Chains A and B, each alone.
Chain A
């Protein structure tokens, strides 16, 4: 249960920051801008063969969860290592490495889900959309876990926090634009679509929009869980070999 204190520390810091306008805006401002710009601008058009705003809102949840879960862990670890030295406190503690990794990633899951629900709540208030299914909630949870664990690995890997912008610009941003958040992947040329559909955010978007459990759903869930577990394993190993 030692992981709980690592998790609790992150939650305390999140609680302190979340009341600050700048923090909440940096967490959800971009997804909300996407929601309102595309929702108001394209909401009446038949892009997806159904309610576009509902399609968009569920895609925006995927983006929000990905960004926030990833940022929570990657920034906490990298800034804690290089700027504030706060990560030293964690790494010098007697808590086992896997428990540190687990506690940190759980904090990423909470922030990712929290911000995802806030954005969906705003979408629900301003647009004509339905509630999300229990399967979508499960998908959001697994997505948050996957990207939170990925953020940990990246946070431990980078040599300075500025290197995070490379991941943001070359991985997260392309996924945001291409992975089916704004339009169906099937609209893309087939060869691009066949690559894009294998990326984690595409899988998340597909899951969030699905209501019925089926073999492909289980396969998608399994892939995300495996990515998350692989990142946790990698993170634990990186922590064991950690040397400044």
Chain B
């Protein structure tokens, strides 16, 4: 299996990753594939995500991002290939992996009838958190949710719901956090807010894997990104390197968005 990895020297130069020990794989995919009926959604996907990294998954609609995300979380079983998460076989040793990872889905899947406090508490209990009372207080402080803790989820704004959704995922102190389109449909100020949360999580040592449609988000947050098109992995590299790989013609700006359009064709399926 050959991985296109960012060199440690470049990582250090970029200032985004400062420690060589981060190059420990948290996620390794080796020729992962998935077919629904006759439609091959993912084909021979291989890459790895290193400890402490923020890794982005980019691709147009129908590229297979959500399927890949579901395969990594364990919601969908792949048809072929191997996946290793934190050193465990993702299929055979899923029960070992479950307490170590958290998933923030694209849709708000909080129980809308519950209050913020109730939703977080029951999630923590389901995930077997000891001293849930203390941890709940910590997370309410960390995410500035104290004023909203008795409010029902259905009465929260979209941005605040997303905040609670991320807070819930962090409650378990996961080693590996997966976020599916974490800022989709949010106002710019709330996107910035969520970005800060993600960057702070990465600083505290959490490895983050996120899918996004927003190139500015990928450029701002991710050390490396994987480009997916029609279920095929087109490239894995740093945003800067991907931008450099694309030939810019007159009137075009060198950006990840331009590279995305040129490499992935802008549309899919």
Contacts and interface: CB of A to CB of B under 8 A. Distances in A.
Closest 7 CB pairs of A and B: A85-B109, A16-B113, A243-B77, A94-B98, A5-B125, A94-B99, A93-B126
B127 A94 contact: yes
A41 B125 CA distance: 51
Contact of B70 (A13, A89, A244): A244
Contacts of A21: none
Nearest to A241: B77
28 contacts: A2-B128, A5-B126, A6-B126, A8-B122, A8-B125, A12-B114, A13-B114, A17-B113, A84-B111, A84-B112, A85-B107, A86-B109, A86-B111, A88-B75, A88-B105, A89-B123, A89-B126, A92-B75, A92-B103, A93-B126, A93-B127, A94-B95, A94-B98, A94-B127, A95-B126, A95-B128, A242-B75, A243-B77
Contacts of B122: 5, 8-9, 12
Nearest to B66: A244
A243 B76 contact: yes
B255 interface: no
B73 interface: yes
Interface of A: 2, 5-6, 8-9, 12-13, 16-17, 84-86, 88-96, 242-244
Interface string B66-78: 0000100111110
Interface residues of B, number: 25
Q: Majority SS of interface residues in chain B? A: loop
A121 B77 CA distance: 48
Interface of B: 70, 73-77, 95, 98-99, 103, 105, 107, 109-114, 118, 122-123, 125-128
Nearest to B100: A94
